Structure 1
Amino acid sequence: MVRWIFALIVALVVGFCVYVVMSNRLPEGLGVVDGQFSSCPISPNCVSTQADPEDATHYVEPIVYRGDRKETQLQIESLLLTSSNVRIVSSELGYVHFEVKSKLIGYIDDVEFYLPEADSVVHFRSASRAGYSDLGANRERFNQINNFLIR
Protein backbone atom coordinates (compact mmCIF):
# COMPACT_ATOMS: atom_id res chain seq x y z
CA MET A 1 0.00 0.00 0.00
CA VAL A 2 2.78 2.43 0.92
CA ARG A 3 4.54 1.63 -2.37
CA TRP A 4 1.41 2.52 -4.32
CA ILE A 5 1.05 5.82 -2.53
CA PHE A 6 4.72 6.59 -3.05
CA ALA A 7 4.45 5.67 -6.77
CA LEU A 8 1.38 7.90 -7.13
CA ILE A 9 3.14 10.85 -5.49
CA VAL A 10 6.20 10.39 -7.72
CA ALA A 11 3.97 10.19 -10.82
CA LEU A 12 2.13 13.36 -9.83
CA VAL A 13 5.38 15.27 -9.21
CA VAL A 14 6.88 14.10 -12.51
CA GLY A 15 3.66 14.96 -14.34
CA PHE A 16 3.58 18.42 -12.80
CA CYS A 17 7.23 19.04 -13.77
CA VAL A 18 6.51 17.97 -17.36
CA TYR A 19 3.50 20.33 -17.41
CA VAL A 20 5.62 23.27 -16.22
CA VAL A 21 8.34 22.60 -18.81
CA MET A 22 5.83 22.20 -21.66
CA SER A 23 3.89 25.32 -20.63
CA ASN A 24 6.98 27.51 -20.35
CA ARG A 25 7.76 27.57 -24.07
CA LEU A 26 8.03 31.03 -25.66
CA PRO A 27 4.61 31.84 -27.12
CA GLU A 28 4.21 33.01 -30.69
CA GLY A 29 2.88 36.46 -31.50
CA LEU A 30 4.74 38.51 -28.92
CA GLY A 31 6.06 41.92 -29.88
CA VAL A 32 4.45 44.99 -31.36
CA VAL A 33 2.69 44.89 -34.73
CA ASP A 34 1.31 48.18 -36.05
CA GLY A 35 1.68 49.69 -32.59
CA GLN A 36 -0.23 46.89 -30.85
CA PHE A 37 0.64 44.01 -28.53
CA SER A 38 -1.10 40.69 -28.98
CA SER A 39 -4.38 40.46 -27.11
CA CYS A 40 -4.62 39.00 -23.64
CA PRO A 41 -6.16 35.53 -23.43
CA ILE A 42 -9.52 35.23 -21.70
CA SER A 43 -7.84 33.84 -18.57
CA PRO A 44 -7.22 36.40 -15.80
CA ASN A 45 -3.41 35.97 -15.86
CA CYS A 46 -2.62 38.88 -18.19
CA VAL A 47 -2.78 42.67 -18.00
CA SER A 48 -2.24 45.15 -20.81
CA THR A 49 -2.51 48.85 -21.42
CA GLN A 50 -3.95 47.98 -24.82
CA ALA A 51 -6.79 45.79 -23.56
CA ASP A 52 -10.32 47.17 -23.81
CA PRO A 53 -10.72 49.79 -21.02
CA GLU A 54 -14.09 48.21 -20.18
CA ASP A 55 -12.28 44.94 -19.38
CA ALA A 56 -11.39 45.44 -15.70
CA THR A 57 -9.71 42.03 -15.53
CA HIS A 58 -7.06 42.82 -18.14
CA TYR A 59 -6.86 46.60 -18.59
CA VAL A 60 -4.31 48.88 -16.94
CA GLU A 61 -3.73 52.50 -17.93
CA PRO A 62 -0.64 53.43 -19.94
CA ILE A 63 2.12 55.02 -17.90
CA VAL A 64 2.77 58.66 -18.77
CA TYR A 65 6.43 59.59 -18.37
CA ARG A 66 8.37 62.82 -18.46
CA GLY A 67 11.72 63.17 -20.07
CA ASP A 68 13.63 61.11 -22.56
CA ARG A 69 12.25 57.94 -24.14
CA LYS A 70 15.60 56.13 -24.16
CA GLU A 71 16.32 57.08 -20.54
CA THR A 72 12.85 55.87 -19.49
CA GLN A 73 13.43 52.53 -21.19
CA LEU A 74 16.82 52.20 -19.51
CA GLN A 75 15.20 52.90 -16.13
CA ILE A 76 12.66 50.14 -16.77
CA GLU A 77 15.39 47.71 -17.81
CA SER A 78 17.50 48.58 -14.78
CA LEU A 79 14.57 48.16 -12.41
CA LEU A 80 13.59 44.74 -13.69
CA LEU A 81 17.13 43.43 -13.98
CA THR A 82 17.73 43.99 -10.27
CA SER A 83 15.93 40.65 -9.77
CA SER A 84 17.86 37.46 -10.39
CA ASN A 85 14.79 35.78 -11.89
CA VAL A 86 14.48 38.25 -14.81
CA ARG A 87 16.16 38.14 -18.20
CA ILE A 88 15.88 40.26 -21.33
CA VAL A 89 14.68 38.33 -24.35
CA SER A 90 14.93 41.27 -26.75
CA SER A 91 15.53 44.97 -26.54
CA GLU A 92 15.58 47.77 -29.07
CA LEU A 93 14.76 51.43 -28.65
CA GLY A 94 11.04 51.61 -27.99
CA TYR A 95 10.46 47.92 -27.17
CA VAL A 96 11.75 45.48 -24.60
CA HIS A 97 10.65 41.94 -23.74
CA PHE A 98 11.54 40.25 -20.45
CA GLU A 99 10.99 36.79 -19.07
CA VAL A 100 10.24 36.71 -15.34
CA LYS A 101 10.52 33.28 -13.72
CA SER A 102 8.57 32.63 -10.53
CA LYS A 103 10.84 31.64 -7.69
CA LEU A 104 8.74 28.82 -6.26
CA ILE A 105 7.53 26.77 -9.21
CA GLY A 106 9.37 28.25 -12.21
CA TYR A 107 6.42 29.56 -14.19
CA ILE A 108 7.46 32.20 -16.73
CA ASP A 109 5.68 35.49 -17.39
CA ASP A 110 6.32 37.47 -20.56
CA VAL A 111 6.61 41.17 -19.76
CA GLU A 112 6.65 43.62 -22.65
CA PHE A 113 7.07 47.38 -22.83
CA TYR A 114 6.38 49.58 -25.82
CA LEU A 115 7.37 53.25 -25.86
CA PRO A 116 6.00 54.78 -29.07
CA GLU A 117 8.19 57.51 -30.50
CA ALA A 118 5.31 59.96 -30.91
CA ASP A 119 3.93 59.78 -27.35
CA SER A 120 5.35 60.02 -23.84
CA VAL A 121 3.63 56.83 -22.68
CA VAL A 122 4.76 53.35 -21.78
CA HIS A 123 2.51 50.57 -22.97
CA PHE A 124 2.75 47.43 -20.89
CA ARG A 125 1.73 43.81 -21.30
CA SER A 126 2.45 41.07 -18.79
CA ALA A 127 1.09 37.56 -19.25
CA SER A 128 1.68 34.20 -17.64
CA ARG A 129 2.56 31.37 -19.97
CA ALA A 130 0.98 28.65 -17.84
CA GLY A 131 -1.97 28.21 -15.56
CA TYR A 132 -5.20 30.11 -15.34
CA SER A 133 -4.82 32.56 -12.48
CA ASP A 134 -1.65 34.41 -11.56
CA LEU A 135 -3.05 35.53 -8.18
CA GLY A 136 -2.61 39.16 -9.27
CA ALA A 137 1.15 38.91 -9.94
CA ASN A 138 1.06 40.63 -13.33
CA ARG A 139 -1.09 43.52 -12.08
CA GLU A 140 1.18 43.92 -9.04
CA ARG A 141 4.22 44.02 -11.37
CA PHE A 142 2.53 46.80 -13.35
CA ASN A 143 1.78 48.75 -10.15
CA GLN A 144 5.40 48.51 -9.00
CA ILE A 145 6.73 49.75 -12.35
CA ASN A 146 4.12 52.49 -12.52
CA ASN A 147 5.01 53.70 -9.02
CA PHE A 148 8.71 53.61 -9.86
CA LEU A 149 8.30 55.67 -13.05
CA ILE A 150 5.93 58.32 -11.67
CA ARG A 151 7.82 59.03 -8.45
Structure 2
Amino acid sequence: MKIASVPLLALLSSVAIAAPPALTPCPDKPNCVSTEASGKAQMAPIPFSGTAAEAQDALRRAITALPRSTVTRDEPGFVAAEFRSRVFGFVDAAEFVIDGDARVIRFRSGARSGHYDFGVNRERMDALRAALSPAR
Protein backbone atom coordinates (compact mmCIF):
# COMPACT_ATOMS: atom_id res chain seq x y z
CA MET A 1 0.00 0.00 0.00
CA LYS A 2 1.34 3.38 -0.98
CA ILE A 3 0.53 6.48 1.12
CA ALA A 4 0.63 9.80 -0.64
CA SER A 5 2.71 12.50 0.94
CA VAL A 6 0.64 15.66 1.50
CA PRO A 7 2.21 18.79 2.93
CA LEU A 8 0.70 19.69 6.31
CA LEU A 9 -0.25 23.20 5.20
CA ALA A 10 -2.20 21.85 2.21
CA LEU A 11 -4.00 19.39 4.47
CA LEU A 12 -4.91 22.05 7.05
CA SER A 13 -6.12 24.49 4.41
CA SER A 14 -8.53 21.88 3.07
CA VAL A 15 -10.25 21.50 6.44
CA ALA A 16 -13.20 23.85 6.76
CA ILE A 17 -13.58 25.47 10.14
CA ALA A 18 -17.18 26.48 10.69
CA ALA A 19 -17.68 29.97 12.04
CA PRO A 20 -20.32 30.35 14.74
CA PRO A 21 -23.71 31.31 13.34
CA ALA A 22 -24.40 35.03 13.15
CA LEU A 23 -27.26 36.40 15.21
CA THR A 24 -30.25 37.71 13.28
CA PRO A 25 -30.26 41.52 13.42
CA CYS A 26 -33.05 43.23 15.37
CA PRO A 27 -35.65 45.01 13.24
CA ASP A 28 -36.28 48.71 13.71
CA LYS A 29 -39.01 48.00 16.28
CA PRO A 30 -39.00 48.16 20.09
CA ASN A 31 -39.69 44.41 20.44
CA CYS A 32 -36.16 43.01 20.25
CA VAL A 33 -32.95 43.00 22.28
CA SER A 34 -29.51 41.81 21.25
CA THR A 35 -25.88 41.87 22.24
CA GLU A 36 -25.19 42.96 18.65
CA ALA A 37 -27.69 45.86 18.61
CA SER A 38 -27.10 49.50 19.42
CA GLY A 39 -29.19 51.99 21.34
CA LYS A 40 -32.11 50.85 23.49
CA ALA A 41 -32.09 47.34 22.01
CA GLN A 42 -28.53 46.63 23.20
CA MET A 43 -27.77 44.31 26.10
CA ALA A 44 -24.47 43.04 27.44
CA PRO A 45 -23.50 39.42 26.75
CA ILE A 46 -23.85 36.87 29.54
CA PRO A 47 -20.44 35.89 30.99
CA PHE A 48 -19.77 32.28 31.98
CA SER A 49 -17.11 30.25 33.74
CA GLY A 50 -16.20 26.69 32.96
CA THR A 51 -16.22 25.26 29.46
CA ALA A 52 -18.39 26.34 26.56
CA ALA A 53 -20.12 22.94 26.64
CA GLU A 54 -20.94 23.39 30.35
CA ALA A 55 -22.28 26.89 29.63
CA GLN A 56 -24.44 25.54 26.81
CA ASP A 57 -25.84 22.80 29.06
CA ALA A 58 -26.64 25.36 31.77
CA LEU A 59 -28.25 27.66 29.17
CA ARG A 60 -30.41 24.81 27.83
CA ARG A 61 -31.58 23.95 31.36
CA ALA A 62 -32.32 27.62 32.15
CA ILE A 63 -34.36 28.01 28.95
CA THR A 64 -36.44 24.89 29.51
CA ALA A 65 -37.10 25.95 33.13
CA LEU A 66 -38.97 29.00 31.81
CA PRO A 67 -42.71 28.52 31.22
CA ARG A 68 -43.90 27.87 27.66
CA SER A 69 -40.36 27.56 26.27
CA THR A 70 -39.00 25.17 23.65
CA VAL A 71 -35.45 24.65 22.44
CA THR A 72 -35.78 24.50 18.64
CA ARG A 73 -32.12 24.09 17.65
CA ASP A 74 -29.19 22.85 19.68
CA GLU A 75 -25.77 22.34 18.17
CA PRO A 76 -22.27 22.96 19.51
CA GLY A 77 -21.93 26.70 20.17
CA PHE A 78 -25.51 27.61 19.21
CA VAL A 79 -28.98 27.32 20.75
CA ALA A 80 -32.29 28.65 19.39
CA ALA A 81 -35.50 28.76 21.40
CA GLU A 82 -39.11 29.90 21.23
CA PHE A 83 -41.19 31.37 24.03
CA ARG A 84 -45.00 31.65 23.88
CA SER A 85 -47.02 34.26 25.72
CA ARG A 86 -49.52 32.92 28.23
CA VAL A 87 -52.70 34.61 27.03
CA PHE A 88 -52.51 35.02 23.25
CA GLY A 89 -49.75 32.54 22.39
CA PHE A 90 -47.51 35.12 20.66
CA VAL A 91 -44.11 33.67 19.83
CA ASP A 92 -40.78 35.28 20.70
CA ALA A 93 -37.69 33.75 19.10
CA ALA A 94 -34.26 33.77 20.70
CA GLU A 95 -30.81 32.80 19.44
CA PHE A 96 -27.73 32.22 21.58
CA VAL A 97 -24.09 31.91 20.49
CA ILE A 98 -21.76 30.45 23.10
CA ASP A 99 -18.43 32.20 22.52
CA GLY A 100 -15.83 30.01 24.20
CA ASP A 101 -12.93 32.34 23.35
CA ALA A 102 -14.54 35.42 24.93
CA ARG A 103 -16.30 33.29 27.61
CA VAL A 104 -19.66 34.97 26.97
CA ILE A 105 -23.05 34.04 25.57
CA ARG A 106 -24.18 36.46 22.87
CA PHE A 107 -27.91 36.55 22.15
CA ARG A 108 -30.83 38.03 20.26
CA SER A 109 -34.42 37.80 21.45
CA GLY A 110 -37.39 39.34 19.70
CA ALA A 111 -41.08 39.13 18.97
CA ARG A 112 -41.98 37.37 15.74
CA SER A 113 -44.95 39.69 15.20
CA GLY A 114 -46.28 42.99 16.43
CA HIS A 115 -44.52 46.20 17.24
CA TYR A 116 -44.19 46.41 21.05
CA ASP A 117 -43.33 43.67 23.47
CA PHE A 118 -43.70 45.75 26.67
CA GLY A 119 -40.14 44.81 27.69
CA VAL A 120 -40.82 41.06 27.83
CA ASN A 121 -37.73 40.06 25.83
CA ARG A 122 -35.41 42.22 27.94
CA GLU A 123 -36.94 40.81 31.15
CA ARG A 124 -36.52 37.24 29.85
CA MET A 125 -32.85 37.80 28.98
CA ASP A 126 -32.30 39.36 32.42
CA ALA A 127 -33.93 36.28 33.99
CA LEU A 128 -31.65 33.96 32.00
CA ARG A 129 -28.64 36.08 33.00
CA ALA A 130 -29.64 35.72 36.68
CA ALA A 131 -30.18 31.97 36.29
CA LEU A 132 -26.74 31.54 34.71
CA SER A 133 -24.88 33.74 37.19
CA PRO A 134 -22.85 31.88 39.80
CA ALA A 135 -24.27 32.02 43.31
CA ARG A 136 -22.67 34.65 45.48
Fold shared by both chains (TM-score > 0.5): yes
Q: How does 1:124-139 map to 2 (within 5 A)?
A: 124-139=107-122
2:61 aligned partner: 78
Q: Which has the larger radius of gyration?
A: 2
Amino acid at match of 2:23: F
Structure 1 residue 34, shift from structure 2 partner: 6.2
2:25 aligned partner: 39
The alignment of Structure 1 onto Structure 2 pairs a total of residues equal to 116
Structure 1 residue 82, shift from structure 2 partner: 2.0
**More helix per residue: 1 or 2?**
1
* 1:63/1:146 contact within 8 Å kept: yes
Amino acid at match of 1:68: T
* 1:90/1:96 contact within 8 Å kept: yes
SS of aligned partner of 2:92: strand
CA distance in 2, matches of 1:131, 1:109: 10
Q: 1:97/1:35 Cα in 2 relative to 1: closer, same or farther (>3 Å)? A: closer
CA distance in 2, matches of 1:96, 1:34: 11
CA distance in 2, matches of 1:131, 1:91: 27
Match of 2:45 among 62, 77, 94: 62
Structure 2, unaligned stretches of length 5 or more?
A: 1-18
Structure 1 residue 84, shift from structure 2 partner: 4.6
CA distance in 2, matches of 1:35, 1:107: 25
SS of aligned partner of 1:122: strand
* 1:35/1:116 contact within 8 Å kept: no
Amino acid at match of 1:36: A
What do the CA deviations read for 1:76-122 (whole angstroms, capped 9, x no partner)? 11111123511111100110000111111010000111012322010
- Of 74-83 and 123-132, more deviation after overlay is shown by 74-83
SS of aligned partner of 1:115: strand
Give me the TM-score of the superposition, normalised by structure 2: 0.79
Give me the TM-score of the superposition, normalised by structure 1: 0.72
